[in-house]
Structure 1
Amino acid sequence: MKELDIQRISIEHLSDSLALSQFAFQYELSAEKLEERRSQYNETENWGAYVDGKLAARMTILDLHTWLFGKRWAMGGIAGVATWPEYRRGGLVAGLLHNALHVMKEQGQTLSFLHPFQFAFYRKFGWETYTETKKYEIPTALLPKLPPQPGHVVRVGEDIELLNRIYSEYASRYNGSLDRDEAWWKRRIFANRKGSAAAYYDADGRASGYIHYQVKESVLQIHELVSLNWGAAKGLWRFIADHDSMIDKVTLNAPLDDQLPFVLDNPRIKQEIIPYFMARIVDVKPFLEQFPFAKGTSRNDGRLTMFVTDAHASWNNGLFVIEVDSDGNARIEAKELPAKEGNDEPICDLSCDISTLTAMFMGYRRPSFMNQIERLKGEEAAISHLEALIPYRTTYLPDFF
């Protein structure tokens, strides 16, 4: 194979990119949809690997934002990774991923998410599982039995301002949910999820939940069920149950901490936990500097030294000194420390690779567990200190890209 050339895909080469995507993901765009894609095309987000001047592989780096422990973070969403069969296993995707890490670093996107076709493949490049989805299938007869609620449900069409206000408050309670904008609602939510939306208003007239759903072939498919409190949840489930004469079952995806089965008269419904998206810390130092560590957890001088290895982003290789004050604010220093005799690793409190670091700081897996499975090394006191420094919060992503 000739020398690899990675560059942005210009609008002139958009037809080549769309042809590759349609082939790889097995769909076909109408003339109308092709023109729509052309009108919405963002050249800065799309990258191609060219061989002998021909587009051989492609990738999109979406400019997104996510919530992490109540803070809004810039995030690069990797999507649309595709290669023509005759160019596969030639290192093209590896080249695009390496390029993406540099691009995201330059753009200040300290985090990256992607939906893997194969988890093991992307683990090799530092991404790690960060969230799961709980999938329910509930026969109509087993839906919650609830009396009439004090509030009321109103169909709201595509009222993005209303829905996003409720969604944003809900999403910020989780790690790894997207901060949506109007374009995302239009192009990703309403364009891809057919059906209708209805909001629940409580007795005081406050919109505190919504459902986006579709009824088809006797199945009520819930695209999204969002409630800010138990009252809204009850109101929405009462509304769902009122569809009983026209449906056989309800299907929905929920966060891993969802407790619906417990409140059912018969909790023996079909439940499935599905590993979903992967995450990666792109740039360790600024990520740790922004991270909201738990307050009041500093030991002694509040200092931890952590040695991080990253085979694909050299700027993350090294030893980081983490000093956290009582308010959870951190000062991070990349520092050279003497290595142990006969050991390549410097003297430090903790050591791990980038994917392990990501799983812990996304809140997906605790340091004690990562130590137990031998992915985080360190003395018990240091493990306990890091355990105390990272707050607890469930990960959840109700979107796809």
Structure 2
Amino acid sequence: MELRNLKLDDFDASVDLSQYAFQYSLTAEQREEHRKSFKPEQVWGVFEQNELEAQLTVIPLEMHIQGRKYAMGGIAGVASWPEHRRRGNVAQLLRHVLLHMKENGISVSSLAPFSFGFYKKYGWELYVEYKQYTIETGLFPQRKEIEGKVSREAADIPLLSRLYEAYASRYNGTLHRSEEWWKNTLKNSKKGYTAVYYGQDGEAVGYILYEIKARVLHVHEMVFENEQARQALWTYLASHDSMVEKAVLKAPMDDTLPFLLSNPRIGQEIVSYFMARIVDTEAFVQQYAFAPTAQGTRLTIRLNDPNAPWNEGDWNLSVTADGKGTMEPVKLEEGAQPDLSCDINTWSALMMGYRSASELNRFGRLAGSPEAAEQLHAVIPQRQTYLMDFF
């Protein structure tokens, strides 16, 4: 058995496996387009006698966490031929890329699971949900006369990127989008129309990406800097009432749209979405923006992480009064117990801001005294998680 990066010559084997596992097919033309964009250095495979048995991709990305940009490894394209499954190939790949990410300065990873239970075994944990609204046209927000204008126009990536980054950085877990990412997004997953709201001063303060299919208005993204921008964009969408029967859109869990409607009885679904995992807790904590406190905080934390043993063991978490944190390994005296202990799944959900220390302690996921959990709770800023992308 050989575990290695793919090479250019492995392209056809990789595509054949992906088509089989994810049940799609490429035309000859599409296959050649994929060949041009193939990045073998991002794909890892398990080979037996030079035959590809399983593979996964690690996409180098950046993620917003507590107002800072983290290098993040996006796991995608995890696939195995059925005759080679349940041999531990994917487990070996996951453990290997965890070490690879750590060695390359990546301290956090995320993925879209085919099975939450499967990836929980390797330390990933649910970190983000979103609301999906289905709103009949008669229940749209009321039209309002708003100063400024909404303009339907060709996508201006620098302009959209500026608005998106300002919006995305308010959340934990959103992606920082490169120009290449924007181009792929607009070409593939969020193709359609772009409309931008310009305020009275002529400055852009919101946009929507949308398409209309079979009398349904699919809003891929709605980004706004203030409530006036949201109202203007909804007034624009309401002007499609003769063309569509309903709108479908996603929103973060802290979105307040139903409260703002005259009739809030719209379709709402909460969707469990991506999972995240801290790859290197020492590096992750060093970059983290903790909340300032009067005197600083010092706690001992015991982490359980058999798939990334460099995270395993007892640690001193120190947070200075101005919010700078360090995580240093410590050897406790015989018989001594840490202030708090948990597995890497729980630690990841906590540090991503998906669940608070107090909640996790109450649920039994974060062992230790409620007082110690409250101390930890006090230094982790409360910030909503969200993700507007897929990979």
Q: What secondary structure, in the 3-state scheme, does the structure 1 residue paired with 2:98 have?
A: helix
**Paired letter, 2:10:** H
Instruction: Give the distance between the partners of 2:329 and 2:63, measured in 1 at CA.
Output: 26
Give me the whole-angstrom Cα distance separating, in 1, the residues matched to 2:90 and 2:232. 47
The equivalent residue for 1:88 is: 85
SS at match of 1:250: strand
Deviation, structure 1 residue 320: 1.1
Aligned to 2:363: 373
1:304-315 aligned at under 5 Å gives the runs 304-315=299-310
Decide which of 7, 12, 18 is 1:10's aligned counterpart: 7
Q: Is the 8 A contact 1:298 1:324 kept in 2?
A: no
Q: In the alignment, is residue 383 of structure 1 matched against residue 373 of structure 2?
A: yes
- Work out the CA distance in 2 between the residues paired with 1:226 and 1:147: 18
Distance (Å, rounded) in 1 between the aligned partners of 2:15 and 2:295: 52
Alpha-carbon displacement from aligned partner over 1:230-264 (angstroms, at most 9, x marks no partner)? 01000100000011110000000111111111111
Q: Does the 8 Å contact 2:112/2:275 carry over to 1? A: yes
Q: Does 1:363 align with 2:353?
A: yes
Match of 2:94 in 1: 97
- 2:319 maps to 324
Note the 1:212-227 alignment, pairs <5 A: 212-227=209-224
Q: Does 1:63 align with 2:60?
A: yes
Q: CA deviation at 1:22?
A: 0.8
Distance 2:131 2:144 in 1: 26
C-alpha distance in structure 2 between counterparts of 1:339 and 1:378, whole Å: 18
1:261 aligns with 2:258: yes
Partners of 2:129 and 2:258 lie apart in 1 by 17
Consecutive unaligned residues of structure 1, counting only runs of 5 or more, are: 341-345
* 1:284 and 2:274 aligned: no
For residues 190 and 326 of structure 1, the distance between their equivalents in structure 2, rounded to whole angstroms, comes to 47
| Partner in structure 1 of residue 204 of structure 2 | 207
Cα deviation 1:186-221 (Å, max 9, x = unaligned): 113432222111110011111011000001111100
Gapped regions of structure 2 (runs ≥ 5): none
Find the aligned partners of 1:64 and 1:395 in 2 and give their Cα distance: 17
Matched, 1:348 2:338: yes
Runs (4 or more) in structure 1 with deviation over 3 Å come to none
Counterpart of 2:361, as a letter, is: N
In structure 2, what is the Cα distance between the partners aligned to 1:109 and 1:64?
9
Maintained 8 Å contact 2:18/2:77: yes
Q: Take 2:248 and 2:4, find their aligned partners in 1: how far apart are those partners? A: 42
Q: CA deviation at 1:41?
A: 1.5
Q: 2:71 pairs with 58, 71, 74, which one?
A: 74
What's the counterpart of residue 238 of structure 2?
Answer: 241
Q: SS of the residue aligned with 1:186? A: helix
Tell me the residue number matched to 1:343: none
Alpha-carbon distance between aligned partners in 2 of 1:50 and 1:373, rounded to the nearest angstrom: 42
Tell me how far apart the structure 2 counterparts of residues 378 and 298 of structure 1 sit (CA, whole Å): 22
Q: Structure 1's 298 and 156: CA in aligned 2 closer, same or farther, altered over 3 A?
A: farther
What's the C-alpha RMSD, in Å, of the aligned pairs?
Answer: 1.1
Q: Give 1:174-213 correspondences, 5 Å limit.
A: 174-213=171-210
Name the CA distance, whole Å, in 2 between partners of 1:331 and 1:107.
20
Distance 1:122 1:290 in 2: 25
Q: Once the two structures are superposed, what CA deviation does each residue of 1:340-398 show, in whole Å capped at 9, x if it has no partner?
A: 1xxxxx52111111010000000000111111111111122211100101100000001
Tell me the amino acid that sits aligned with residue 200 of structure 1. Y
Per-residue CA deviation, residues 100-145 of structure 1 (Å, 9 max, x unaligned), is: 1011101111000000000010000000000001000000000011
- Tell me, yes or no, if the aligned pair for 1:155 and 1:196 is still in contact at 8 Å: yes
Inter-CA distance 297–364: structure 2 relative to 1 (3 Å threshold): farther
Per mean C-alpha deviation after superposition, the further-off stretch among 163-172 and 379-388 is 379-388
CA positional deviation for 1:297: 5.1
SS of the equivalent of 2:349 reads helix
Residue 331 of structure 1 deviates from its aligned partner by: 2.9
Percent identity of paired positions between Structure 1 and Structure 2? 47
In 1: Cα distance, 2:369 partner to 2:269 partner: 37
The partner residue of 2:156 within 154, 159, 163 is 159
SS of 1:246's equivalent?
coil
Aligned AA (1:338): E
For 1:368 and 1:20, locate their aligned partners in 2 and report how far apart those are by CA, in whole Å. 44
Residue type matched to 2:275 in 1? M
Q: Secondary structure at the match of 2:314?
A: strand
1:51 Cα offset (Å):
2.0
Q: SS of the residue aligned with 2:175? A: coil
**Matching residue of 2:119:** 122
What do residues 297-345 of structure 1 show as CA deviations (whole Å, max 9, x unaligned)?
Answer: 545xx211111110100100111111211110123321111231xxxxx
Other structure's SS at 1:62 match = strand
Sort the Cα spacing of 1:218 and 1:306 in 2 relative to 1 into closer, same or farther, 3 A: same
Whole-angstrom distance in 2 between the partners of 1:388 and 1:339? 29
Match for residue 334 of structure 2?
339
Residues 297 and 388 in structure 1, CA contact (< 8 A), matched pair in contact too = no
Secondary structure (helix, strand or coil) at the match of 1:244 reads: coil
Moved more, 109-118 or 32-41: 32-41
What's the TM-score, normalizing by structure 1? Answer: 0.96
The CA distance in 2 between the partners of 1:107 and 1:297, in whole Å, is 35
**Residue 84 and residue 143 in structure 1: after superposition, are their counterparts in 2 closer, same or farther (change >3 A)?**
same
